[in-house]
Structure 1
Amino acid sequence: MISDAARSALHDWLHSQKALKGASDNTIEAYARDVRGFLAFLTEHKGGLQGIGALKAVTLSDMRSWMARCRAEEIGARSLARKLSAVKSFYRWLSEREGFDATAVMAARAPKFQKKLPRPLAEDAAQGVIDTLDLQSQVPWVAARDQAVVTLLYGCGLRISEALGLTGADLPLGGSLRIIGKGGKERVVPVIGPAREAVEVYLRLCPYPTEPDAALFRGVRGGVLGPRAVQKVVEQVRLQLGLPASVTPHAMRHSFATHLLNAGGDLRAIQELLGHASLSTTQAYTAVDTARLMEVYRRAHPKA
């Protein structure tokens, strides 16, 4: 249980994350779950409901006790680091609103963990996935739909949510496509010929009308195509081709970035195409070694 004051503060913080930072619904739900769990721990740890005054008095020892409880519940280092990040973000906002020093919370150190680098496909494997998608359904328009979606992921570097968020208003596809990504960030991505052609084939076969305010990619009953359907058909292809479990729709986006860089693309340009806020995220997506990064650096830096 948490106090009414703490619940109200949590609600206000979540609203600010949604309104000011454009956090997605999934992110808001994760934030709410993580911070609510922390506040419930304080209730138990302190032996009573914790109002705003008590939240201001949280010590580093309290933080360590909470993290120890999480570890005792076999919460992994990566998940605990995410929870701590959410709690710190909440306290950063709360301390600014209430005017207190949140150093004790901010001083808590996240556990170290080995970051998993994304695993892109080889170019021939990526092409094999796209080609084999056409064989997964006996319904021609469904096969064309699946192929068009994954071609957009690989050919344009779209997130699956971005591809499935396209509507009839985005047609006809030209040389570029305006995408609203995470946090409401807008970017323009080039659309390669094979991606345009795949979408055109799908549109010719799709039995549902194209409407400006309706989803471009439809489910078999005419509703919005969900990500799980795309994940499932890619899994079928992966098994048929004998590819590793790391081959997912999102891996096609990883592959887009890696193959662009291997072809001589600039990291900053790829960062823009992917819609990443941080260049370090792009570096992880491209899964390149230090030597390759230094080569790009020396070629691009004016004083190198």
Structure 2
Amino acid sequence: MAMTDKDRAARATHALLAAAAPDVATAAEAWLARLAHERRLSQKTLEAYARDLATVLQRLALHLGGRPSLPDLAALTPADVRAVLAARRADGVAPRTLVRLLAAARSFARHLEREGQGKVGALTAVRAPKVPRSLPKPVSVAAARALADPATRAGEDRAPWILTRDAAVIALLYGAGLRISEALSLTAGTVMAGTDQITVTGKGNKTRMVPLIAPVAEAIAAYKVLCPYVLTSEAPLFRGAKGGPLSPRIVQLAVERMRGALGLPDSATPHALRHSFATHLLARGGELRAIQELLGHASLATTQIYTEVDATALMAAYRAAHPRA
């Protein structure tokens, strides 16, 4: 039976509690509960926070010679924190991961201070590693269309309804700019016949309205006709081969197979289709604030990165085409 986000979050929480002394474990449980209820974080995000803090505490235990307690955390020095980060760096961990570990530890430290359980000043005294900024890697319009076309996989030995299902999911990623988790969380009642917009639940359980263009609606309708399972309004829209909720890994594998057949780079992932949605809209005159709303970004600064992608593409075209470039 496939592990759910809730199961994974519970496992990460268990690892976190096992890595800490009893007083820290109790505080960590309260911290996770607060993240869940006050910030309305998803199970997947809670899992990431718990896993990252567990990693920090495990490394601290090795460094200090025992599971850290609240007094141990309050007594930490910047040198202790740097030693933990250096140990993870020696394991080959990327700077982006180190930044994430430090962010989880700082979030927990803020919780401790707010609850009057001590101040971990060493965490704020250590500068986070610099992370090289990488631009999103969208695929071309032609490649995005090919990935969403069931005919691209016509030679595969798979049931037609499965090929149509995967095409419908991919059509949502590119045609509506959804995250894969958002597409797979849709219920059958969300996308009714004649619907031209859908309500999507994104990060932090925030909802937004997303237009449903005709090709995407047609792809979903084609899947509904062929799906062998009863799609009740409250049940998951997209089903696995045995009728359970569709796993994101299945969609990722489908895209991997197609990008090999289409000669696309490894960067052509399901999430790259969301990048493509934003980049292609911007290239055709889409307004940045509207794209932010469609993507569900909390900050406009997150959406602005696509302007850099568009500018990079323009300069590449200029250099390739201009006689004196």
- Using structure 2 for the length normalisation, give the TM-score: 0.84
5+ residue gaps, structure 1: 293-304
Q: 1:15 is matched by which residue type in structure 2? A: A
Tell me how far apart the structure 1 counterparts of residues 109 and 215 of structure 2 sit (CA, whole Å).
Answer: 48
Whether 1:40 aligns to 2:61 is: no
Whether 1:182 aligns to 2:208 is: no
- Aligned residue in 1 for 2:274: 253
Q: 1:144 to 1:47 in 2, by over 3 A?
A: closer
- Aligned residue in 1 for 2:4: none
Tell me how far apart the structure 2 counterparts of residues 237 and 48 of structure 1 sit (CA, whole Å).
Answer: 49
Cα contact 1:133–1:143 (8 A) shared by 2: no
Q: 1:285 to 1:89 in 2, by over 3 A?
A: farther
Q: Out of 42, 56, 63, which is 1:24 matched to?
A: 42
- Aligned residue in 2 for 1:158: 178
Per-residue CA distance 1:124-152 (angstroms, 9 max, x = gap): 12112222445245422112111111111
- Aligned residue in 2 for 1:302: none
Cα contact 2:102–2:123 (8 A) shared by 1: no
Cα contact 1:157–1:274 (8 A) shared by 2: yes
Per-residue CA distance 1:130-177 (angstroms, 9 max, x = gap): 224452454221121111111111111111111111112213151111
- Aligned residue in 1 for 2:168: 148
Per-residue CA distance 1:167-213 (angstroms, 9 max, x = gap): 12213151111111110111000000001111111111112112012
Cα contact 2:70–2:117 (8 A) shared by 1: no
Matches within 5 A, 1:1-304: 1-98=19-116, 100-131=118-149, 132-133=151-152, 135=154, 136=156, 138-173=158-193, 174-285=195-306, 287-289=309-311
Cα contact 1:137–1:143 (8 A) shared by 2: no
Tell me how far apart the structure 1 counterparts of residues 162 and 256 of structure 2 sit (CA, whole Å).
Answer: 16
Following superposition, the deviation at residue 69 of structure 1 comes to 2.0
Cα contact 1:133–1:146 (8 A) shared by 2: no
Following superposition, the deviation at residue 285 of structure 1 comes to 4.8
Tell me how far apart the structure 2 counterparts of residues 40 and 291 of structure 1 sit (CA, whole Å).
Answer: 44
Q: 1:284 is matched by which residue type in structure 2? A: I
What secondary structure, in the 3-state scheme, does the structure 2 residue paired with 1:189 have? Answer: strand
Q: 1:91 is matched by which residue type in structure 2? A: A
Deviates more, 1:194-203 or 1:94-103: 94-103
Cα contact 2:292–2:303 (8 A) shared by 1: yes
Q: 1:146 is matched by which residue type in structure 2? A: D
Per-residue CA distance 1:42-66 (angstroms, 9 max, x = gap): 3343344432223222222221222
Q: 1:56 to 1:263 in 2, by over 3 A?
A: same
Per-residue CA distance 1:75-110 (angstroms, 9 max, x = gap): 221211111111111111111111654443112111
Tell me how far apart the structure 2 counterparts of residues 201 and 48 of structure 1 sit (CA, whole Å).
Answer: 58
Q: 1:23 is matched by which residue type in structure 2? A: L
Tell me how far apart the structure 2 counterparts of residues 95 and 284 of structure 1 sit (CA, whole Å).
Answer: 34
Tell me how far apart the structure 2 counterparts of residues 113 and 207 of structure 1 sit (CA, whole Å).
Answer: 47
Name the % identity.
Answer: 47
- Using structure 1 for the length normalisation, give the TM-score: 0.89
Relative contact order (alpha carbons < 8 A, sep ≥ 6): 1 or 2 greater? 1
Cα contact 1:133–1:234 (8 A) shared by 2: no
Please tell me the root mean square deviation across aligned C-alpha atoms, in Å.
Answer: 2.1
